[in-house]
Amino acid sequence: MPAPSVQSLKERCRGISAGIFAAPCGALADSTRRLADWGGQLIHFDVMDGVFVPQITAGPDFVKALGDGMVRDVHLMVECPDRHVAAFAEAGADIISVHVEAPGAARALAAIRAASAELGRPILAGLAIMPDTPLADLVPLLNPAPDLMLVLALDPRRKAPPCVGEAAARARAIREMAAPARPLVAIDGGITEQSIAEAMCASPDFAVSGSAIFRAAAPEAAFRRLAGALRRTAPDGVPA
């Protein structure tokens, strides 16, 4: 069997990346199994260190324990992310996104590529951007281009509500900025059944949603509705 490629991994990154830490903390494994049963392909890990953002979540052991066979989508909201890349890569991360606002973002992107080469498997290098950060701040990090651009609709450092419409507009602009390299583009934050239509305006490759799935009265139905909405707008006719 040929080794998986970056392109084949990208093709699996469609639809909804489910934020697993929105599930009941005592039922993460069960929630992950149910997600797989619903047809979920991506599982999203928000990794927060209490410094870059005020919240604290979990580390690489959770990534290793959850989501076997799924695309493990790791979002590092941490100071100096380059220091943590290797641990998450070894834990099985398939996507590692770091913030343009974090110290050492360029080193972290290089570390993701180095970890991919060392482990002999594709790991997508993602670049995330907060809602108020100028898009011009991305430019120095676009050569070489990241594999994924993660556009946040919500800044976890503040209490402002998410603005999915603005994130969608920024996602469209970022897609144009990085057009020659054709990175994946995703939207993260505030994705609900009420806001998904705004996200769809950007035709994202995938969108991140947690609470709207795992805290819904009927989580499976919520997941399927969100995934179905994005499937209808998948870029380039690729099924979500």
pLDDT digits (tens, 9 = 90+) for 86-106: 999 999 999 999 999 999 999
SS3 (DSSP) at 186: strand
In terms of pLDDT, which residue wins out, 231 or 207? 207
Question: Does the pLDDT value for residue 161 go beyond 90?
Answer: no
SS3 (DSSP) at 52: coil
- Confidence grade of residue 180 (pLDDT, cut at 50, 70, 90): confident
The string of pLDDT tens digits covering residues 70-88 is: 999 999 999 999 999 999 9
**Which of the following is catalytic: 30, 46, 82, 137?**
46
Helix ranges (DSSP H) in 38-81: 60-65
Distance CA 78, CA 238 (A): 33
Domains of the chain: 6-130+143-232 (3.20.20.70)
Q: What's the whole-number average pLDDT of the chain? A: 94
% of the chain with per-residue pLDDT over 90: 90
**Which of the following is catalytic: 73, 94, 147, 188?**
188
- Confidence grade of residue 229 (pLDDT, cut at 50, 70, 90): confident
C-alpha distances (whole Å) from 54 to each of 48, 209, 212 are 8, 20, 22
Q: Which residue reads 């009420």 in tokens? A: 194
- Confidence grade of residue 240 (pLDDT, cut at 50, 70, 90): very low
Residue 141, pLDDT score:
97
% of the chain with per-residue pLDDT over 70: 95
Burial 154-190 (b: 16+ CB within 10 A, else e): bbeeeeeebbbbebbebbbebbebbeeeebbbbbbbb
Told to judge if 188 belongs to the known catalytic residues of this protein, a careful annotator would answer yes
Residue 225, pLDDT score:
95
Residue 233, pLDDT score:
59
